[in-house]
Amino acid sequence: MRILVIEDEKKIADFIKRGLKEEGYSVDIATDGEQGHFLATTEEYDLIVLDLMLPKIDGITLCRRLRDEKVSIPILMLTVKDSVKDKVKGLDSGANDYLTKPFAFEEFLARVRVLLRRAESTQVAKLVVGNLVLDLLTHKVTRAGKEIELTAKEFALLEYLMRNKGVVVTRTMLSEHVWDINFDTLTNVIDVYINYLRNKIDRDFNNKLIHTVRGRGYILKE
């Protein structure tokens, strides 16, 4: 997996590069928007990490330009701003996810993994983990062939976990992607919904699929 990091702050760029390389990714760095655009359109990447405030071409403009040019590589946008308006602006320009600086590297890495995984799984009609099947067209969920009734929110939560099977998703990611808001103080709600899901998905089976990763979040795996 090859990642392009477009970031003018050397300290942050080096920090990201070092961390990603330790995880086995190859990383190129562009230090302004122009160089970033050049690399993004001439090289093959699996993911772009894009800073918002950049010399020459800013992140929003660059993101929009890449999407206009039909570059569909997933983009994770970085910014110091933390208002809903800026977030919407970033996502409207074509970014797939958005992370506010300063961030913990674990949170960053979790999002990188999810974006790389999502790129693989966008085309499928059914998500399958072991004997658990979620049909994206009919919205039917079965385990071992038996249908499971879920509420709309439970379905959305399960879909997100299944799309990211085998990777840890943090509570912040769940709050942003399943609840569409950032409610750090109410993450208890997520734990409650996870319990609802466990009761419906896992309770009657010895082989549990939903796992808690202490201090980090949740993972769905066989």
Residues that bind Ca ion (CB under 5 A): 8, 51, 53
Pick between residue 100 and residue 131 the one whose CB is nearest to Ca ion: 100
CB of 67 to Ca ion, least distance (A): 20
CB of 106 to Ca ion, least distance (A): 22
Q: Are strands 141-143 and 146-148 parallel, antiparallel or unpaired?
A: antiparallel
Residue nearest to Ca ion (CB): 53
Q: Number of C-alpha atoms within 13 angstroms, CB side, residue 96?
A: 22
Q: Longest C-alpha distance within the chain, in Å?
A: 58
CA 82, 84, 89, 90: dihedral to nearest 10 degrees? 50
CB of 115 to Ca ion, least distance (A): 20
- Measured CA to CA, the distance from residue 174 to residue 212 in angstroms comes to 13
CB of 56 to Ca ion, least distance (A): 12
Pick between residue 30 and residue 148 the one whose CB is nearest to Ca ion: 30
Pick between residue 51 and residue 154 the one whose CB is nearest to Ca ion: 51
Taking residue 209's Cβ as centre, other Cβ atoms within 10 Å add up to 22
CB of 105 to Ca ion, least distance (A): 18
CB of 177 to Ca ion, least distance (A): 25
Pick between residue 51 and residue 97 the one whose CB is nearest to Ca ion: 51
Pick between residue 12 and residue 189 the one whose CB is nearest to Ca ion: 12
- Structure token digits, residue 25: 């990714």
Pick between residue 31 and residue 164 the one whose CB is nearest to Ca ion: 31
